[in-house]
A and B are shown apart, each in its own frame.
Chain A
Amino acid sequence: KQEVTQIPAALSVPEGENLVLNCSFTDSAIYNLQWFRQDPGKGLTSLLLIQSSQREQTSGRLNASLDKSSGRSTLYIAASQPGDSATYLCAVRPVRSSASKIIFGSGTRLSIRP
């Protein structure tokens, strides 16, 4: 059974720092991995999607990497800003699952201090 873990559950850093959020998954048989952002009381916004054949994806100050064989992904945020404060969720789409199902981690709640 695929399990997705995100550590730490919460992180607080001062503005301007570069930071890394971690995601691990137990079964390397995945189609893709996706990083989402969730603001308090809101829905999820897709940030980056990495296909299983890819190593990384970049969007602005965000860079996501994928090491499928070791079951790990990182989300790198450069030059953090207070507006980056949110909960970041990673999710994988397992190969061995019902159609269209993705498995979420419980998220890392990020707080950027001005």
Chain B
Amino acid sequence: SQTIHQWPATLVQPVGSPLSLECTVEGTSNPNLYWYRQAAGRGLQLLFYSVGIGQISSEVPQNLSASRPQDRQFILSSKKLLLSDSGFYLCAWSRSGIKTQYFGPGTRLLVL
């Protein structure tokens, strides 16, 4: 069976500090990978998705970036966090094509 992991579960960071959130998937190969952000009381906003190693598509302009150094690893980064980066970050995976997305447990980020 497939599982998806995210860490850390919770993170409190000062404004201007760097960020690195990690997502890994087990039990499948060549998944599509996604990063979403969920602000309080709002829906999920797709930030990045990847269909393969080193292939990243950005959906919204921002100070965040994503990388996929390995087939089942997806990393969300920032060089300098903003207050507005606070939120709940969810990673998801799907099989290639138009398939159901499966979500990780999420990382709650608070920027102070």
Please list the residues of chain A having a beta carbon within 8 angstroms of any beta carbon in chain B.
4, 31-32, 34, 36, 41-46, 49, 89, 91, 93, 98-102, 104-107
Contact = CB atoms under 8 A, between A and B. Distances in A.
A32 to B, nearest CB: 7
Contact of A98 (B42, B57, B90, B104): B57
Interface of B: 6, 32, 34, 41-44, 46, 49, 51, 57, 59, 88, 90, 92, 94, 98, 100-106, 108
Nearest to A43: B103
A100 B102 CA distance: 12
Contacts of B32: 99-100
Contacts of A36: 103
A100 B51 contact: yes
B106 A106 contact: no
Contacts of B108: 41
Contacts of A44: 44, 90, 92, 103
B43 A104 contact: yes
B106 A100 contact: no
Given A41-B106, A43-B103, A43-B106, A107 B51 contact: no
B50 to A, nearest CB: 9
Contacts of B101: 34, 46, 102
A45 B94 CA distance: 13
Contacts of B92: 44
State the main secondary structure of chain B at its contact with A.
Answer: strand
A36 B90 CA distance: 14
Nearest to A45: B103
Given A4-B43, A107-B43, A31 B103 contact: no
B43 to A, nearest CB: 4
B98 A89 contact: no
Nearest to B6: A43
A98 B55 CA distance: 14
A100 B55 CA distance: 14
Contacts of B43: 4, 89, 104-107
